Chain A
Amino acid sequence: MITRFFDRHQRWLFPAPAVIFIVVMMIFPLGFTLWNSFSGWSLTAGRPNTFIGPQNYVDMMRDARFWNAVLNTFYFTALAMVIELALGVAMALLIDAKDYPGKRVVTSLLLLPMMATPVAVAMVWLLMFEPTAGVINFVFGQIGLPKQLWIAGSSSVIPSLVLVDVWEWTPLITLIVLAGLAGLPSEPFEAARVDGASYWQTLWRVTLPMLLPTISVAGLLRFIDCIKTFDIIYGMTGGGPGFSSETLNIYTYNQAFYYFNFGYASSLLVIFFTIVTGVSLLVAYSRRRLEV
């Protein structure tokens, strides 16, 4: 009896667990967040999650902290992406340039920063950045450079956080680009050599254009991670000094878990989600265009 039931409904019974999982774990939370974003749900105001229309979005447009957070998010992401892509590609080209003993050791060493827990990384850098007792200012003092405030100064905090992100995630770009380099055909390079192209000409005209799809994938992955960066910022500054390093993610977290304005926090998340999806689609689209 049961066997016959299974036989007849195989088509939807087998994918059912996966479908249920996706609905429960992804679609439901997204839908619930969207619903909440139109509600005034707030524990501090004692409001339940009843529909209030687009009020949260209207408030957001007038919220100076929201705009400050948007600015900080893009500042952090842009700075980190530019440095990581440039350094990552350069490192990959250097590593790939020649065969030498220990090449594989170098590639394995690159993995180390990425394997560290971000919160642990944040704690270590927090100690190193400490203006009075930290090792970085100590070294600066020894070699005669002026001591810096690092994450304790409102203008230096985001570049300092970017430094940590660059330290941890540049190797990811390097590894992806290395894999891309290994997959390139050798004929175009031979042809370039026969035609008498210099190293730089080969790099600009042959290697980089052929690597572009790989770089754009690496860039997209980093973009999504960078814009969502939470652990190192929260662990090191919590958005401070003042609000100088408060990104959208940190602001949303504050609204939800410190101010308990769940409705407003949800609307921030919806905007955040739209930004990430929008940029990702844009990159995917331009990639398709480039490949043609």
Chain B
Amino acid sequence: MKQLRKLLLLLLLLSLVAGCAAPVSAPAPSAGEAPAAGEMPYAGVTLRLVGANHPWQVAITPLLADFEAQTGIKVNFEALGEDQLNQKLTTEFTAGNSDIDVFMQRPLQEARVMQLNGWYEDLTNCVSDPDYDFADFADGAVGTTTVNGVLTGVPIVTEQEVLYYRKDLLEAAGLEVPKTLDELKAAAEILTDRDNEMYGFVARGQRSPLVTQFSSFLYSMGGDWFDENRQATINTPEALAAIDLYGTLLREYGPPGVLNMSWPQAVAIFAQGNAALYTDASSIYSNMLDPEKSAVADKTGVAVFPAGPAGSIMYNVTSWGLSMHSGSRNKEAACEFIKWATSKEIVSKTQGEGAVPGARESVWASPAGSAAFPADWVEAVAASANGRGYDRPLVIAVTQARDIIGGAVTVAIEGGDYVAAANDANAQFQALLDSEQ
């Protein structure tokens, strides 16, 4: 009896050992039969790429098969909504041991906090290959993704704030395309006809999303988020004028319910033909200019952001970058992928055919690079080249800062005491700035 039990135990142990050994021995043959190691050093590697539901993801996905064929690297692309993406990355990275290799990031929103927590692999060495030509990327764009000397990502999408307008309505009212913020306000007033649900102006009114599109108003009125001594400047006369202007435009000439609008809702109002003027990011133009998505596609024009007392100072930012996780177990393969996805060849495809505005100057310089975009859009974007490289305060706790500032702007939109709200926001923002010293 005891003998039998021992035998059984032995068998059990053996089967356990065999069970463990099986997966270990499995990859061995595939490694052995790779004679072309020189050409495909990373064949068989699987990369986990986490990104956003974004036109760039739509443009790159059909091209992934080429990369897989060229390198033998398998790429799994997981696409999520923007907020979910941020939460997924943060939770996985915080929990540690994440097997994410490459991810899409919004440098202005999250690069500082992620760099602080050491989640980025510095890409400086990865992009140093002369054939890759990293110098081709616009300086401003690279500056955005560089945090404390660490290259946190390669810029893949750029955007500027522009003015979308209804050509037919302006023409019927005998108005020129607004070149200054004063003209914008005057035109919005003339074009508003509430009884017929026609609104002169629409833009984002939701607390946090509005901050980025409010930024160009703030800059053009002569304001900024904070000065060179890290003193908050949300309640300076310039900032108050900008808050008042943005609030007045949306309160007096905007659609009802604007406080709950981010860009999808604002675009919907414009694309249905209920608004005449709309300031938002250049990257969302197809929602208004594509006849399949918009009822006013043939009547919509794009112009450069109107000038305020300080001139026409819009943001011109890198909205998305491609980054490598510092905990990646396939860093060389991940670097290969990042270089491929941001190479001249691929960017000219994602930009030229996929209409995703990239950051490579050589692609913009070639006629094919702007062929996919409407002519007035290209003009407006080119005129925004000297815009500011940030559309939100450059702090670590960006979301918190956006809530503080956006909260004050919503008070102005509702017609409340925005001066008190701005003073209050300024104090809170100052406390946040001080805590990050």
Q: Which residues of A contact B (CB under 8 A)?
A: 43-46, 130-132, 147, 149-154, 237-243, 254, 257-260
Is B256 in contact with A131, judged by CB distance below 8 angstroms? yes
Contacts of B116 in A (CB 8 A): 43-44, 46
- Which residues between 260 and 316 of chain B lie within 8 Å of chain A, taking CB atoms? 260, 269, 274
Contact of A132 with B197 at beta-carbon distance under 8 Å, contacts A43-B117, A152-B257, A242-B411 already known: yes
Is B410 in contact with A241, judged by CB distance below 8 angstroms? yes
Contacts of B206 in A (CB 8 A): 238, 240-241
Contact of A258 with B414 at beta-carbon distance under 8 Å, contacts A43-B116, A149-B256, A243-B207 already known: no
Nearest-Cβ distance from residue B277 to partner chain A, whole angstroms: 17
Is A243 in contact with B94, judged by CB distance below 8 angstroms? no
Asked if B372 lies at the interface with its beta carbon under 8 angstroms from chain A, I say no
Contacts of A238 in B (CB 8 A): 206
Contact of A152 with B258 at beta-carbon distance under 8 Å, contacts A43-B116, A44-B397 already known: yes
User: Interface range on chain B: under 10, 10 to 19, 20 to 34, or 35 or more?
Assistant: 20 to 34
Asked if B68 lies at the interface with its beta carbon under 8 angstroms from chain A, I say no
Asked if B399 lies at the interface with its beta carbon under 8 angstroms from chain A, I say yes
Asked if B353 lies at the interface with its beta carbon under 8 angstroms from chain A, I say no
Bound state CA distance, A46 and B116, in angstroms?
Answer: 6
Nearest-Cβ distance from residue B101 to partner chain A, whole angstroms: 21
**Given A45-B436, A152-B260, 12 more contacts at CB 8 Å?**
A46-B117, A46-B396, A132-B257, A132-B274, A150-B257, A152-B258, A154-B414, A243-B207, A257-B90, A258-B399, A259-B397, A260-B90
Asked if B128 lies at the interface with its beta carbon under 8 angstroms from chain A, I say no
15 contacts between A and B (CB under 8 A): A43-B94, A44-B113, A46-B116, A132-B197, A132-B255, A132-B256, A132-B269, A149-B256, A149-B257, A241-B207, A241-B260, A242-B259, A242-B407, A257-B87, A258-B399
Is A44 in contact with B260, judged by CB distance below 8 angstroms? no
Which A residue's beta carbon lies closest to that of B197? Answer: A132
Contact of A259 with B399 at beta-carbon distance under 8 Å, contacts A240-B206, A240-B410 already known: yes
Asked if B435 lies at the interface with its beta carbon under 8 angstroms from chain A, I say yes
- Which residues between 200 and 240 of chain B lie within 8 Å of chain A, taking CB atoms? 205-207
Total contacts A to B, CB within 8 angstroms?
76
Is A240 in contact with B207, judged by CB distance below 8 angstroms? yes
Contacts of B258 in A (CB 8 A): 152
Which A residue's beta carbon lies closest to that of B268? Answer: A133
Asked if B403 lies at the interface with its beta carbon under 8 angstroms from chain A, I say yes
Contacts of B411 in A (CB 8 A): 242
Contacts of B90 in A (CB 8 A): 43, 257, 260
Nearest-Cβ distance from residue A61 to partner chain B, whole angstroms: 15
Which residue of B87, B94, B259, B396 is within 8 Å of A240 (Cβ)?
B259
Contacts of B436 in A (CB 8 A): 45
Q: Is the interface of A mostly helix, strand, loop or mixed?
A: loop
Asked if B400 lies at the interface with its beta carbon under 8 angstroms from chain A, I say yes
Contacts of B410 in A (CB 8 A): 240-242
Which B residue's beta carbon lies closest to that of A129? Answer: B257
Bound state CA distance, A237 and B207, in angstroms?
Answer: 11
Contacts of B117 in A (CB 8 A): 43, 46
Contacts of A254 in B (CB 8 A): 399, 403
Contacts of A241 in B (CB 8 A): 205-207, 259-260, 410, 414
Bound state CA distance, A241 and B258, in angstroms?
Answer: 9
Is B255 in contact with A131, judged by CB distance below 8 angstroms? yes
Contact of A45 with B396 at beta-carbon distance under 8 Å, contacts A241-B410, A242-B207, A260-B90 already known: yes
Is A259 in contact with B400, judged by CB distance below 8 angstroms? yes
Residue from B205, B206, B207 whose CB has the most chain A CB atoms within 10 Å: B207
Binary CB contact string for chain B from 415 to 437 against chain A (1 if under 8 A, 0 otherwise): 00000000000000000000110
Contacts of A45 in B (CB 8 A): 396-397, 435-436
Bound state CA distance, A131 and B258, in angstroms?
Answer: 9
Which B residue's beta carbon lies closest to that of A237? Answer: B260
Bound state CA distance, A43 and B269, in angstroms?
Answer: 38
Which B residue's beta carbon lies closest to that of A44? Answer: B397
Bound state CA distance, A259 and B411, in angstroms?
Answer: 22
Bound state CA distance, A262 and B293, in angstroms?
Answer: 41
Which B residue's beta carbon lies closest to that of A242? Answer: B410
Bound state CA distance, A151 and B256, in angstroms?
Answer: 11
Contacts of A43 in B (CB 8 A): 90, 94, 113, 116-117
Contacts of A242 in B (CB 8 A): 207, 259, 407, 410-411, 414
Nearest-Cβ distance from residue A140 to partner chain B, whole angstroms: 12
Bound state CA distance, A151 and B137, in angstroms?
Answer: 44
Is A243 in contact with B407, judged by CB distance below 8 angstroms? yes
Bound state CA distance, A98 and B290, in angstroms?
Answer: 60
